[in-house]
Structure 1
Amino acid sequence: MKARFSAWLVVVLGALLLLQTAWQKSPTWDETGYFGLGAYLLKTGNWDVPASCSHPPLAFYLHSLPVFAYPVDWSPWHYPEGGAQDLGFLRSADLRRGNALLLDANYDGERLFFFCRASAVVLFGLLALVLYRWGCQLRGPQGGLLALLLLSFCPNTLAHASLINTDFVFEATFALAAYAFYFLLLRPSPWRLAGAAVSLGLALGSKLSALVLLPGLGLALAWFLVFASPEQRQQLEGMCWWPRVGVWGQSAALYLWVVLGGGLVLWALYGFQLEPYLLTLRSQMGDLDAGHEAYLMGEYSTQGWWYYYPVALLIKTPVPVLVLGGWGLWQVMRDRSRWAALGLLIWPPLLLAGLFVAGGKDIGLRYLLPVYPFLFLLAVNVLPASGTQGWRGWRAWLLMLCCLWHAGGTLRNHPDHLAYFNELVGGPDQGYRYLVDSNLDWGQDLKGLKAYMDQRGIVRLKLSYFGTVDPALYGLQYEWLPSFYLPAPLDARALLPTTGLIAISATNLVGVYMGGYGQERDLFRWLRSYEPVARIGHSIFLYDIPER
């Protein structure tokens, strides 16, 4: 009873951190284009507007349900005929449409935006339930509690669970699909087979990279059969639909039923249409071929580095999670009796990580977000099989230290979870030296900048903003400086270097996307020699440059 109460307490605290972050942070880069998209898809059943073929639709649906409770003007969703045949049009983001929804005078656009963000708290609760049950199966109630603690104070999960985006939805459904398949292998039944199929379909409907689950679950199944106990193999044989093919044949049939059922669920998410999914596949393949501007430790590339994601994982994951995850893996490897369960903790996240390490599209750690639940579950294995009762000595003290360090570090940085960097690189203030974009600065602190200005009586400043939301949403007055993407006013005449009070996003400061303004990436090099007078959420730097 005590463990369950503690589990509830930890989850509620994590949900509150998520909701507070969702309210305090301004819309990030992708959110402006995704805002309300799912409502349009559900309302019309048509994939004929910008961003509709950028990703599968599950996240769009989830984050758009509150839109139906508001008097939304649908006119921004009407486009000239012919666009639906242009893949470039369907994969693009209409930022004017999103800003029109935010600035509509008929309702409080900021409040609607918060409700759309907050809808992810339901999925956060589902992910918490999955990790608690899985942790309990591995190491009892204490194992479930440890998994919840690591989840609820994970800065990367909190950051993306508070946004209108696909990344956290993918994290949750990826873990759900793996757990449902694991649950099916432990105690096969038709109902668990259906649950595994639905869970796989939801994951496939959240992001195209969920396709790695198909080989991932297959490899995990083979691993399970190799290392399963005789009792576990006998339970699989108990399904006995085709007794003559043996346990391997029956398991293969079980896997195929899960995959077919998952495909049916995915088809249903598209309203039983195939073409939108194929267009989305083509869209993503085009992105891979085109490459992507990336920044890593002072270097720039469009083709990426094989070590980008390992470095990002190393410096943006809390140190205690790395310690506990490595310790837990070592404990599992020492005990062969635990190896049957190891396959589903290893193969799906390993294949996902391998996909992006080899892919050359270095966008951000958010692409590896589904790895974290499996890392938490590996960490659970540091506990002895009998639970923490009678567990003494350095192991207990190390576990307690890691838990306090993990929770304390996240609370200290709240609500700036997106900008989190661990102590190995000096924390969030040093993050811009290593990574930018969605790893640090995704436009989330414009609201914080306006609050800073109001507190200090600052009426106007010079602004170079990396983001897509219109500063008019917050009544922010500014003189435009070259930005990505903030459009220039018609009378803009930016002369650089300049003086006065300057607010600049970290991504623009390092210049990763600023080549369009000339001088390649050195447009703001002159500003880097000054020390900022303030940092807003670690992502917007404020400089006060004196007149010469």
Structure 2
Amino acid sequence: MTLRQGPSLIMHAITLGILAMAFLWQTTLARRAWSITFDETFYLNTALQTDHDARLDPRLSQNGTGALPVLLANVPAAMTVERTSRPSEWRGSPDDPPVNALARLISSLLVGLPLVVIVYTWLLVRRGYLGATIGGAMMAFSPTVLAHASLASTDACFALATLVSLAALAAWYRKPTPPRFLLAGATIGLAISSKYSGVFLFPVLLFVLLPRMWERSSSTGWRRFVAVGWMTGARLVLVAALAGLVVWATDGFSFSGPLKTVPVEETPANSPWVKVLGNGPTASWIMDAAHRRLQRPSVVAAVIFRWLHNRRGHPAFLMGERSMEGWRWYFPLAWIVKSTIPEFLLSLAIVPLLVVALRSNIDEEVALGQTRFVWLVAGGVFWVMVCMARVNIGQRYLLVLYPLTFLIGIDLLCLVWRWRQRWLLVVGGLLMTAQVASAVAIAPHYLAYFSPLVGGAPQGRHYLVDSNIDWGQDLPALRSELERLGYDRPLLAYFGSADPEGYGLDVTMFPTVEEGQLDRFDVIAISASKLQGVYPDGDPFAPFRELSPTGTAGYSILLYDLADPQAAEALRIAWRRYPDDERARYTEIQDREP
């Protein structure tokens, strides 16, 4: 394919350069404004430990984390400082902010910026300058994309690797050749090594394989179904093996302990080993060999962790409700309340635009329709997967759907209105204007963006918490707010893993306080996730929800003046309700070296 007719290559380069600079400037604002988020501490600590040990930290796979994002951004940043051991992977250090800042910069350049470039270039090749400009602007000014492209975490890397994998799948679907098929398999491995959600690409591959295998089969009747099933299954197994090898390669071909973690005599009756093998002598011999002689590849440990995590669920909050198992409508609602109005409208327009395109029988190159088919399958499969998930902790899991929505929606707009450029120009201009306005209005608090349809960021905590609005990012804002209000004896109930000392904060952490010391403090700052009762168990901070905060730090930490008798009483109630096991766990973490 060639570039659609339009401005010169110089104009394309200038436009893309402007979008890239705008994107990087906005991520710079966010990187400088935020403290280390909850998960970034884990990634940084495992990177520092990796550099210290000269081997990949096994805690990555033990926590079901793909190694690729850590290797791309965090390990290079860790190599710029003195080697240090981090036995406590979830505890931050006052020395972390500069290292994390470098990791974030690397991630913005190597992961975030290519996301914008891919969307712009893909639409440029397919739909020309106007479509590319609309798509590039939607990406460059998307609060969701900006938020996660500003962090040294896994979500943006997963989105990038998924787009690369879909490009490889589309290339094979357009022209099936063995090299293209192997490339698609390898890129699926890269997506999984970014985030284990990448397993959704296997059913995508299935739907892409079936029509090609059907065309290839020369059998008739039921034999054709058997042949197609055999050819498809064989290729899926081949890709699974290749992808698994790629994932294991990013883990340094490491192992994470014995294949069976406990001895035979300690195996519970409900263990999958017993359910599969039984309790006979042969089963005992196999389980003993698995425990004593066989090692477990790190990728197996990660898959097991992810399976168990989804099986048991995770504490979640949705519009005043709490659950360990999540809700089928969690992610659709998160899409509505966390997307900008142009993003939401574009997603709504996809189905009617697709219907119009199909009914109109619009003439276009076959290859264009084949690539769009891959996009649509990927988007549909991913939506089904996330709606079935029992871990409902953040709209960030939907990040990959934003570039897909821009690609599909704008591609269809350009197709349906290919002879109505003025309409496309007007609609595209409105989309871009509204998108830019959304990003500018919330800057630099992109992570806390909520649609004005639900009251914006100030009302966000009533709909969703955790990484949707409160990921531990607002310690710098807390320092500014404490100085503005004149408090000097703050108590902090913090949902985060960063060390406040690293941001110039002299605060006392709530779990460390004795009941007799509560009168010493003049203000308590409570993270939104704790205020809404997601963490810890028992909803100890519930009384504060009846009070109006004195101030807010960003949109994620709320301050309550303890000179107010109601706030002081709420504090005493919270202390008594706070679980003792949480105090002990917090103390244990703090007693370790960071």
Taking structure 2 as the reference length, the TM-score comes to 0.76
Q: Distance in 2 between matches of 1:206 and 1:377?
A: 21
Q: Secondary structure, in 3 states, of the residue corresponding to 1:16?
A: helix
Q: Residue 451 of structure 1 is aligned with which of 465, 468, 480? A: 480
Query: Which AA in structure 1 matches 2:553?
Result: I
Q: Which residue of 2 aligns with 1:174?
A: 162
Say whether 1:344 aligns with 2:374. yes
Structure 2 CA distance for partners of 1:35 and 1:258, relative to 1, 3 Å? same
Q: Distance in 2 between matches of 1:415 and 1:128?
A: 19
Query: Which AA in structure 2 matches 1:25?
Result: W
Say whether 1:502 aligns with 2:524. yes
Q: Residue 17 of structure 2 is aligned with which of 1, 8, 14? A: 8
> How far off its partner does 1:288 sit?
1.9
Query: Which AA in structure 2 matches 1:376?
Result: F
CA-to-partner distance for each residue in 1:377-426, whole Å, 9 max, x for gaps? 12213543498786225x54333222111111111101111111101211
Q: Which residue of 2 aligns with 1:264?
A: 245
Q: Which residue of 1 aligns with 2:446?
A: 417
CA-to-partner distance for each residue in 1:273-317, whole Å, 9 max, x for gaps? 461111111111221232211111111111111111111111101
Query: Which AA in structure 2 matches 1:173?
Result: A
Q: Distance in 1 between matches of 2:86 and 2:398?
A: 34
Q: Which residue of 2 aligns with 1:437?
A: 466
Q: Distance in 2 between matches of 1:302 and 1:251?
A: 37
Q: Secondary structure, in 3 states, of the residue corresponding to 2:512?
A: coil
Pairs within 5 Å for 1:28-427: 28-38=37-47, 40-41=49-50, 44-49=54-59, 52-77=62-87, 94-96=89-91, 98-99=92-93, 102-103=94-95, 109-121=96-108, 122-187=110-175, 192-222=180-210, 260-273=241-254, 275-336=297-358, 339-385=369-415, 391-393=421-423, 396-427=425-456
Q: Which residue of 1 aligns with 2:512?
A: 488
Q: Distance in 2 between matches of 1:343 and 1:184?
A: 13
Q: Distance in 2 between matches of 1:38 and 1:348?
A: 32
> How far off its partner does 1:50 sit?
6.9
Q: How many residues align?
A: 498
CA-to-partner distance for each residue in 1:53-75, whole Å, 9 max, x for gaps? 43121112112233354332433
* Residue pair 2:331, 2:386 contacting (<8 A) in 1 also: yes
Q: Distance in 1 between matches of 2:370 and 2:236?
A: 17
Q: Distance in 2 between matches of 1:430 and 1:141?
A: 38
Query: Which AA in structure 2 matches 1:204?
Result: I
Query: Which AA in structure 1 matches 2:200?
Result: V
> How far off its partner does 1:124 sit?
1.7
Q: Distance in 1 between matches of 2:127 and 2:352?
A: 15
Segments of 5+ residues of structure 1 without an aligned counterpart are: 78-92, 104-108, 227-232, 238-244, 482-486
Query: Which AA in structure 1 matches 2:527?
Result: S
Q: Distance in 1 between matches of 2:231 and 2:297?
A: 33
Q: Secondary structure, in 3 states, of the residue corresponding to 1:295?
A: strand
Query: Which AA in structure 1 matches 2:155?
Result: D
Q: Distance in 1 between matches of 2:308 and 2:227?
A: 43
> How far off its partner does 1:341 sit?
3.1
> How far off its partner does 1:538 sit?
0.9
Q: Distance in 1 between matches of 2:232 and 2:415?
A: 28
Segments of 5+ residues of structure 2 without an aligned counterpart are: 1-7, 219-225, 255-295, 363-367, 566-594
Q: Which residue of 1 aligns with 2:4?
A: none
Q: Secondary structure, in 3 states, of the residue corresponding to 1:384?
A: helix
Query: Which AA in structure 2 matches 1:263?
Result: G
Say whether 1:19 aligns with 2:45. no
Q: Which residue of 1 aligns with 2:549?
A: 532
Larger-gyration structure (1/2): 2
Q: Distance in 1 between matches of 2:418 and 2:524?
A: 54
> How far off its partner does 1:360 sit?
1.9
* Residue pair 1:47, 1:53 contacting (<8 A) in 2 also: no
Query: Which AA in structure 2 matches 1:117?
Result: R
* Residue pair 2:56, 2:252 contacting (<8 A) in 1 also: no
> How far off its partner does 1:26 sit?
0.3
CA-to-partner distance for each residue in 1:151-188, whole Å, 9 max, x for gaps? 11111121122222221111111111111211233345
* Residue pair 1:36, 1:67 contacting (<8 A) in 2 also: no
Query: Which AA in structure 2 matches 1:537?
Result: G
CA-to-partner distance for each residue in 1:453-472, whole Å, 9 max, x for gaps? 34555433232211111211
> How far off its partner does 1:368 sit?
1.8
Structure 1 vs Structure 2: percent identity of aligned residues?
Answer: 28
Structure 2 CA distance for partners of 1:193 and 1:128, relative to 1, 3 Å? farther
Structure 2 CA distance for partners of 1:461 and 1:224, relative to 1, 3 Å? farther
Q: Distance in 1 between matches of 2:176 and 2:147?
A: 36
Q: Distance in 2 between matches of 1:10 and 1:459?
A: 43
The Cα RMSD (Å) is 3.2
* Residue pair 1:462, 1:501 contacting (<8 A) in 2 also: yes
Q: Secondary structure, in 3 states, of the residue corresponding to 1:305?
A: coil
Q: Distance in 2 between matches of 1:194 and 1:8?
A: 33
Structure 2 CA distance for partners of 1:407 and 1:254, relative to 1, 3 Å? farther
Q: Secondary structure, in 3 states, of the residue corresponding to 1:205?
A: helix
Query: Which AA in structure 2 matches 1:267?
Result: W
Structure 2 CA distance for partners of 1:375 and 1:50, relative to 1, 3 Å? closer
CA-to-partner distance for each residue in 1:419-447, whole Å, 9 max, x for gaps? 11101211000001111011111111012
Say whether 1:461 aligns with 2:490. yes
> How far off its partner does 1:370 sit?
1.4
